Structure 1
Amino acid sequence: MKTVVFDFDGTLADTFDIAVDVYNKVAPFFRVKAISNRDRQLVKELSLEEFALSYGVSEYKFLPLVLVLRYLIRKEKKRRKIKIHDGLLPVIKKLSISGFKCGILTTNSRKFVNSVLKENGLSGEIFFVETNAFLKKKYKTLFKLKENYGDIVYVCDEGRDIVAAKKAGVVSIAVTWGFNSFSNLSRFSPDFIVSSPAELLNVLTDL
C-alpha cells in the first residue's frame, strides 16, 4: 500500500491569507509592493521568481524578507486557529481506514503541526510528521522518505514542490486550493492535478 505524503501549508492547512497578511505588514519596511485585495488570487498565478520581479523583491532583499516572514508567520499561526481545508478530513480518514500511511512533510515544527492536527481531529490518522529544515533541499527529504517507506505519493500545492518530487523520482499530485493556481501548477507538469478533495481521493485509490 502506498504512503501519501502531504505538504502542510496550503495543501492541508488553509494558511494562504495568513501569509499574505503578514507579507503586507512588512512590505513597507522592505520597500516592496504590497498585495492588494484584488490581487490576492492573481498572485497564485506567479512563480516565486515572477512574484519577486512583479513586487520589487530584489535579490538582496529576498533572503532577509523570507526570514522575517517565516518568523512572523510562525507567530501569527500560533495566534490564529489553523483549519484543515474543507473536505480533507474525511478523505484522510478514508485513506487511513483503507490502509494508506499518511504523513506530512513541512518546514513547520513537529510540535506545531501535531497541535493543529489535534485541534482538527486528525492526530490518529497521520503516521508521521517529517520536518524539513529551511533552505534544505526538499527533494533530498522526499528521497529519504522514499527509501524509508517505499512507494510514496507527494500531495502538494506549489511548482517548486513538483520540481522536488521529479528530482526525487516521486509521483506528485498538485492541488489547486493552495498557494498556486491550476494554470501555474500546469507549467511544472505534475503527474496529476486535482481541484477537490473528492478528486484527490479518487486519484489516490486508482493509483
Structure 2
Amino acid sequence: MTTLLFDFDGTLADSLSAIVTITNRLAPEFGYRPTPWEKIEALKGLNARQLIQYSGISILKIPALLRRLQTELRQQSTLIPPCAGMPTVIQALYERQHTLAVITSNSPDIVRTFLATHQMQDCFVNVDGGGTLFRKGKLIAQYLQRNSFDLAQTVYIGDEVRDIEAARLAGIRSVAVTWGFNQREVLAAANPDWLVDDPEALQAIADAV
C-alpha cells in the first residue's frame, strides 16, 4: 500500500479566505502590504518567496506573524471548510488501506480539530507540523526516518511550489494539486511527479505507486 503525506492549507482545507482575512487585518501591525481580494488569483502565480517579497514584510517578523496567524486560525478551525471533494476521496483512500498522514507548516492541533469536525480524524495515522514556511522538507524527512517508510511507495501531496521542493528535498515524489494557493502553470514549472486538477485523481495515483 502507498503512504500518502498531505499538506493541509489549500490541499485538505479550503483556508485561503480565512488566512487572507486574518493577514490583511494584521498588516498594519506587522508593517506589510495587505492583499487586495481582486488580486488573489494573480498572486497565486507567485511562489512563497515571491509573495513575501511582494508583501514587503521583514523576514525577521515572519515567525511572529505565523504565530499570530495560527492563534487566530485556531479559533476558527471548526469553521474552515474542506476543499471540495476531499472528504470523500480521503475516506476512499483509507478504505483502500493506504497510509495517510498530514505534514504541514500549520499547527497540528488546528489540523486535528479540522479533521474531527469533518469526520476524517480516523483516516490519518499522524499529524505533524510546525516550524517555518521553508522547513517542511526537513519535517518530511524526519517523519520518514522515524517510521521507516519505503520512499518509493511514499508521495507528498500539496498545493504550492514549496511542497514540491520539500518532497524533492526529502527524497520522495510529489503530487501537486491545482485547487489551492498556487496556479497550475506555476506548479507545472516546478516539475512535480504528478499534477492533478481533480481530487479523485489521487485514488488512481495511490493505487499505481
Structure-2-length-normalised TM-score: 0.87
Output the CA distance in 1 between the equivalents of 2:108 and 2:30.
Answer: 30
Which residues in structure 2 correspond to 1:48-63 (within 5 Å)? 48-63=48-63
CA shift for structure 1 position 55 = 2.9
Q: 1:119 to 1:64 in 2, by over 3 A?
A: closer
Output the CA distance in 2 between the equivalents of 1:182 and 1:135.
Answer: 21
3-state SS of paired residue (2:5): strand
Alignment counterpart, residue 173 of structure 2, candidates 171, 174, 177: 171
Letter in 2 for 1:4: L
Partner of 2:201: 199
Partner of 1:13: 13
Output the CA distance in 2 between the equivalents of 1:72 and 1:115.
Answer: 14
CA shift for structure 1 position 197 = 0.5
CA shift for structure 1 position 34 = 1.8
- Structure 2: give runs of 5+ residues left out of the alignment: none
3-state SS of paired residue (1:154): strand
Output the CA distance in 2 between the equivalents of 1:136 and 1:58.
Answer: 16
CA shift for structure 1 position 199 = 1.9
Partner of 2:121: 123
The more displaced of 53-62 and 83-92 is 53-62
Output the CA distance in 1 between the equivalents of 2:103 and 2:112.
Answer: 12
8 Å contact from structure 1 (residues 6, 105) kept in 2: yes
Output the CA distance in 2 between the equivalents of 1:175 and 1:30.
Answer: 31
3-state SS of paired residue (2:125): strand
CA shift for structure 1 position 19 = 0.8
- Structure 1: give runs of 5+ residues left out of the alignment: none
8 Å contact from structure 1 (residues 33, 56) kept in 2: yes
| Matched residues, number | 205
3-state SS of paired residue (1:103): strand
Which residues in structure 2 correspond to 1:100-139 (within 5 Å)? 100-134=98-132, 137-139=135-137
8 Å contact from structure 2 (residues 155, 173) kept in 1: yes
Deviations 1:115-147 (A, max 9, x none): 211211112211221234346832222123333
Structure-1-length-normalised TM-score: 0.87
Identity of aligned residues (%): 31
CA shift for structure 1 position 100 = 0.4
8 Å contact from structure 1 (residues 146, 152) kept in 2: no
CA RMSD of aligned residues (A): 2.1
The more displaced of 102-111 and 186-195 is 102-111
3-state SS of paired residue (2:44): helix
3-state SS of paired residue (2:200): helix
8 Å contact from structure 1 (residues 3, 152) kept in 2: yes
3-state SS of paired residue (1:190): coil
Output the CA distance in 2 between the equivalents of 1:145 and 1:74.
Answer: 24
